[in-house]
Amino acid sequence: MEVVQVREEEMPILAELANGIWHEYFPCILSEEQIDYMVEKFQSLKAMTEQIEKQGYEYYFLRDNEKNVGYMGIHPEEEKLFLSKLYVTKDNRGKGYSSNAFSFLEQYCREKGKKAIWLTVNKYNDHTIEVYRHRGFQVIKSQVSDIGNGYVMDDYVMEKEIQC
């Protein structure tokens, strides 16, 4: 599997991939209305383009045999790397793609001198929390974030130290 940075002309493909995964996966945790709202606010073409151009985010496809099997979004900070998004398409889960993505991120941190990777995950996203724990992440706090329109994100913050 390759981890390939998304090019500007590929952004509509990324937005379509994100929209599909979010509407397939999150109905077990969030209402359809909240998913629509969050996709528009965080994962639409406009939102992700702004994150890249104005906030320093980077998006990557997880690609196998020229097929996009998932994507991730990261935000490098002064000392740590924020893993903002990591999603694998339904048919491709459980095949080791996220483990490859984490190996890529850990190498990225070593090369750029980042001391840790941190992320947020919905408190009821049990399987994903187990995968993160398996990879060495620990819950460091829980937080409820107001995202507007009467919605909140009810999350754990998880972090993994990276040895340089």
Ligand X SMILES: CC(C)(COP(=O)(O)OP(=O)(O)OC[C@H]1O[C@@H](n2cnc3c(N)ncnc32)[C@H](O)[C@@H]1OP(=O)(O)O)[C@@H](O)C(=O)NCCC(=O)NCCS
Catalog residues that contact ligand X under the rule CB under 6 A. Answer: 25, 86-88, 93-99, 121, 125, 127-128, 130-131, 134
In the bound state, the residue with its beta carbon closest to ligand X is 98
Q: Which is nearer to ligand X, 115 or 135 (CB)?
A: 135
Q: Which is nearer to ligand X, 105 or 131 (CB)?
A: 131
Q: Which is nearer to ligand X, 27 or 56 (CB)?
A: 27
Give helix 11-25 / helix 45-55 axis angle, nearest 10°. 120
What b/e sequence results for 70-97 when a residue is b if at least 16 CB atoms lie within 10 Å of its CB, and e otherwise?
Answer: bbbbbeeeeebbbbbbbbbbeebbeeeb
Minimum distance between the CB of residue 89 and ligand X, rounded to whole angstroms?
8
Which stretch of DSSP H or E encloses residue 2? Answer: strand 2-5
- Angle, CA of 124, 129 and 131, to the nearest 5°: 145
Contact 88, 62 (CB under 8 A): yes
Q: Which is nearer to ligand X, 118 or 161 (CB)?
A: 118
Minimum distance between the CB of residue 96 and ligand X, rounded to whole angstroms?
4
Minimum distance between the CB of residue 120 and ligand X, rounded to whole angstroms?
7
Contact 3, 69 (CB under 8 A): no
Minimum distance between the CB of residue 19 and ligand X, rounded to whole angstroms?
13
